Amino acid sequence: MERQPRSVSKRSAPKRTPEIYWLGLGGLLAFCLVAAGVSVLFSTAALKYWYPGLAKPPFVPPAWMFAPVWTTLDVLAAVGAWRVWVARAAPTRRPAMVLFAIQLLLSIVWPMAMFTVRLPAAAAIEIGVLWIAVLATTTAFFEVSRIAALLMTPTLLWTTFVGVLSIEIWRLN
């Protein structure tokens, strides 16, 4: 009996149930909120004792505003990342999610540079790297979901503002 060659078939992806979609959203929200919480941990003491003594530009928001703004932005970004994650057929989905994870990790480094090690110069440089990562993530999200990119846009705008603020604090001190 002659053996027939096996036909090459694409492996079918397992179906995602509605529960998996909600668990994915929950996981992304948790990932982003943990990052926000870590950032707050790195910032709390310095915001109380070191930051008030710095010379700051007149457009600086109150110190208490940073944690809720970053947290809100992280929630929006998590929902945007979820929109990318559920877009299974998009070939650029995986690179977009990798960029998202990188930019989220970089968002933890800025408060470390600014508030833990208290180096405004390093924080200004790091926020520039973070801005590039957020721009790359937003652009990658746009390739998969315009809504996801729209949800990332406030993060890009806030990172731009914090970048200008970081440069000014560095310059003034």
pLDDT digits (tens, 9 = 90+) for 71-121: 899 999 999 999 999 987 778 999 999 999 999 999 999 999 999 999 999
pLDDT at 135: 98
For the chain, which residues make up each domain, given as ranges?
Answer: 18-172
**Rounded to two decimals, what is the model's pTM?**
0.84
- Higher pLDDT, residue 18 or 140: 140
Residues 6+ apart with CB under 8 A from 152: 76, 77, 80, 134, 137, 138, 141
Q: What is the DSSP letter of 41?
A: H
According to the model, what pLDDT value does residue 9 have?
45
Mean pLDDT across the chain: 89
pLDDT in tens, 36-45: 889 888 888 8
Fold category of 18-172 in CATH: Ferritin (1.20.1260)
Residue carrying structure tokens 């989905």: 93
Q: How far apart are the first and last CA of the chain?
A: 84
Q: What is the DSSP letter of 113?
A: I
Report the alpha-carbon distance of residue 107 to residue 134 in Å, rounded. 9
Helix/strand number for the chain, H first, E second: 5, 0
pLDDT at 42: 84
- Longest CA–CA span in the chain (Å) reads 87
